[in-house]
Amino acid sequence: MARYLGPKVKLSRRVGVPIADIPKHTAKRQLTPPGPHGFRGRRMKDYGVRLNEKQKLRHHYSVLEKQFRRYVDKASRSKGNTGDVLLQLLEKRLDNVVRRAGFVRTIWAARQMVTHGHVLVNGKKVDRPSFSLRVGDTISLRDRIHKLARENMESMAGHIVPGWMEVNPAELKSRVLSLPTADQIPFDVNTNLIVEFYR
């Protein structure tokens, strides 16, 4: 299974926005471009602007290019706004739902929790981070990971759960109530530029 194993903060610096909501990524000094002096260079051309927007979304969900392109193709074949459908497809991934529920701090920790078999969907073990959830699905954690999940939730006091899902902190369970909409996603990205990039 292919995945990015390099330095994560460098990705935030490259695209100019924090791709993870943790201090290491949100610190002001980390948003300067990578390199010895944070050289900004010239103003980006149209292609560069679209590429940067696409990379922002890719890094936020920790998806490689080939898989991301498949999501874009699927979104373009679906009914509705291609950009909104693309965000829905990415937001419904199992690793992302575990992160949004507040059981872990980052998408990489969520991915590890899923691949190690600690996450149950409707009572059955699912170890694929890309598993797409449906409305009504319930996510729960195995007993042996409860202590870690509770520690993570305590360290993220004030974490806001999106309106399209509900979380039961006492039982460490989460349920998908509806399909996510673009305004419920706590990451600012221009999907129109991404769709234009692939045309």
Distance linking the first and last C-alpha atoms of the chain: 28
How does pLDDT run across 14-36, given as a tens digit for each residue? Answer: 888 888 877 777 776 656 666 66
Q: Within 13 A of 48's CA, how many CA atoms are on the CB side?
A: 8
How does pLDDT run across 95-148, given as a tens digit for each residue? Answer: 999 999 989 988 999 999 999 999 999 999 999 999 999 999 999 999 999 999
Q: Do domains 9-90+189-197 and 93-178 have the same CATH topology?
A: no
- Domain ranges, ordered by start, for the chain: 9-90+189-197, 93-178
- What span, in angstroms and rounded, lies between the C-alpha atoms of 8 and 106? 11
Give the predicted TM-score (pTM) of the model.
0.87
- What span, in angstroms and rounded, lies between the C-alpha atoms of 13 and 18? 8
pLDDT of 93 above 80: yes
Mean pLDDT of the chain: 87
93-178 belongs to which CATH class? Answer: alpha beta
User: According to the CATH classification, is domain 9-90+189-197 in 1.10.1050.10?
Assistant: yes
